[in-house]
Amino acid sequence: MDRRTVLRGGLAVSGGAALGVLTGGQAGAAVRAGAPGLLRADRPRLTHGVQAGDVTAREAVVWARADRPSRMLVELARRPDFRDARTVRGPVITPDTDLTGKAFLNGLPAGEELHYRVRLVDLDRRTVTSEPVEGRFRTAPRHRQDIRFVWSGDLAGQGWGINPEFGGYRIFKAMGDVDPDFFLCSGDLVYSDGPMAETVKLPDGRVWRNIVTAEKTKVAESLAEYRGQFRYNLQDVNFQAFNARVPMLYQWDDHETLNNWYPGEILDLPQYTEKRVDVLAARARRAMFEYTPVRTARSGRLYRKISYGPLLDVFMLDMRTYKSPNDDGRDPNQKDGLLGAEQTAWLKHELRNSNATWKVIANDLPIGLVVPDGTAQESSSQGDDGAPLGREREIADLLSYIKKRRVRNTVWLTADVHYTAAHYYDPSKASFSDFTPFWEFVSGPLNAGAFGPNKLDNTFGPQAKFVQAAPHANTSPLEGSQFFGEVEIDAHSADLTVHLRDLTGKSLYTTTLNPEH
């Protein structure tokens, strides 16, 4: 389907049922919605803005939430005045998904900026619609084109939530000012295990003031409480404005459920009445799928590849669902522990067959940083600096495969540790050397307590080229140390430039990588 056909009526859309494009008369009746005399309370209402996600050259997901059961409509156009718009019928939104809904758009034109707006149609009075909420996204190019995106993670952690006196989640304004093609969320988009107080006294005597909802006063355990974690963050005006202009590629980490969890874990924590982590994780996973603009496979898996033209493929990993129990990380015979056999096989296959110049691997847990979980280890490294043991063996196998298959130009992007850094992995300085040199860049938090730096493990020879961390543990956003990263790929040279930026958007560190051919 060519790009001219799409907005003349060839757009394919689905939302969980058999859906289609409205005819001109149907669209006009729905949009005109003869409701000038109706009070606002008599109409459906969009409650938390709009989001787009998993945007490729031909596809996108548009998300919204209603205040009551209603039908979701999406108008899509090339022009911001919507003069050439087509209206597509999305799903009926019901309480079964906490009144959230997604429209899955297919057959889009590549490499273009598209504008959309979402309306809700009353189920009993089909001429009554909500006020529209607008958004936009740029589809991935099919040919060489400049690319810019941002990444970070960790939102509303350690008790630091939406503070109106601080300006809310200010970092989203700084990221929006970069005008990225997409936002790579590296996990911990919510902190379901982080109850909040209305006020927190800072070391210098100042007071941090949180907006607090009922769901944020305790750890999340029920499905309703997990849903409330996502609704909380979506109250922020900066986050809403950012979501409306920048599509998201989302991966989860631990705090969507609870800190450092792994499958099969049984909790010994007094604040939890439900001790089975598998039960909690299933509820968290459902809430996450309902509240993020993720296009999922029928299997419900989160790992996936997003192709963004000839210059970029993004490999979204899931290092939580297939995780082994946290231990000392010194098993000499362990074969996996973060990715699992099926995901590893998928990643190897996709990397081997990728024709993109750059292969960005989004790893929600860092490779060479030691991340303790009490006396156990949360990530792959355990700090002994020696030959690969435990989960390091899975990483070593993957890195050796990348070298053997001559997969060029891999770059790893992560968050998790609540500071920003640039690591160069050098086999000539490593205990295990059967790999091609590569970079891993760390950024975050978005709005959470800042920490670090963590110890580097020399198994894979990471060299810290830049580090900026908090002056003390659990530094508040009011004290700084909130970070995001930016990646630019030049269409002409194919060079990839990384900026590590602070809360204001100031560049703290920049490096440019030249592609190998």
Task: Tell me the three-class secondary structure of 377-424, residue by residue.
Answer: ECCCECCCCCCCCCCHHHHHHHHHHHHHCCCCCEEEEECCCCCEEEEE
Long-range pairs of 371-378 with CB within 8 A, sequence gap ≥ 24: 371/416, 371/417, 371/454, 373/260, 373/326, 375/328, 376/326, 376/327, 376/328, 376/329, 377/326, 377/327, 377/328, 377/329, 378/254, 378/260, 378/326
346-355 long-range Cβ contacts below 8 angstroms, 24+ apart: 346/303, 347/303, 347/315, 347/317, 347/398, 348/398, 348/401, 348/405, 350/305, 350/313, 350/315, 351/315, 351/401, 351/402, 351/405, 351/407, 351/410, 352/405, 352/407, 354/305, 354/313, 354/407, 355/310
Three-class SS of residue 209? strand
Distance from C-alpha of 222 to C-alpha of 284, rounded to nearest angstrom = 9
Q: How many CB atoms lie within 10 A of CB 134?
A: 15
- Asked whether the beta carbons of 380 and 408 are under 8 A apart, the reply is no
- The distance from CA 300 to its chain's CA centroid, rounded to whole angstroms, is 16
- The owner of tokens 């996990």 is 187
3-state secondary structure of 242: helix
pLDDT at 15 over 50: no
Backbone angles phi, psi at 171, to 5 degrees: -60, -25
Domains of the chain by start residue, with CATH: 3-138 (2.60.40.380), 147-513 (3.60.21.70)
Whose CA is closest to 252, among 208, 292, 218?
Answer: 292
**Amino acid (1-letter code) at residue 308:** Y
Tell me: pLDDT of 231 over 50: yes
d(CA 276, CA 160): 27
Is the CB of residue 267 less than 8 Å from the CB of residue 190? no
d(C-alpha 191, C-alpha 225), whole Å: 11
CB 507: neighbour CB atoms within 10 A? 11
**In the predicted model, is pLDDT for residue 434 greater than 50?**
yes
Higher pLDDT, 409 or 126: 409
Section 296-313 average pLDDT: 89
The pLDDT tens digits for 171-220 are 999 999 999 999 999 999 999 999 999 999 999 999 999 999 999 999 99
**Is the pLDDT score of 116 beyond 90?**
yes
Chain-centre distance for alpha carbon 358 = 19
- Give the C-alpha separation, 407 to 405, whole Å: 6
pLDDT at 24 over 50: no
Return the DSSP state at 155.
Answer: B
Parallel, antiparallel or unpaired: strands 410-414 and 358-362: parallel
Q: Provide the percentage of residues in the chain whose pLDDT is more than 70.
A: 92
* Residue spans of beta strands (DSSP E) within 113-203: 113-122, 133-138, 147-152, 182-185, 199-201
Alpha-carbon span 270 to 434, nearest angstrom = 45
Residue 22: predicted pLDDT: 37
Taking each helix axis as running N to C, give the angle between helix 223-233 and helix 277-291, from 0 to 180 degrees, rounded to the nearest 10: 40
Entry field: residues in the chain:
517
C-alpha–C-alpha distance, residues 511 and 137, integer Å: 27
Q: Binning pLDDT at 50, 70 and 90, where does residue 246 land?
A: very high
300 falls in which pLDDT band (50, 70, 90)? confident
- The mean of the pLDDT values for the chain is 92
Q: How far apart are CA 17 and CA 297, in angstroms?
A: 16
Q: What is the pLDDT of residue 298?
A: 63
Q: What residue ranges in 7-85 does DSSP mark as E strands?
A: 12-14, 46-53, 60-66, 70-77
Max Cα distance, the chain (Å): 74
Residues in contact with 444: Cβ distance below 8 Å, sequence separation at least 6, in sequence order: 152, 153, 154, 186, 415, 416, 417, 418, 419, 420, 483, 484
Confidence (pLDDT) at 3: 32
Q: Which uninterrupted H or E stretch holds 278? A: helix 277-291
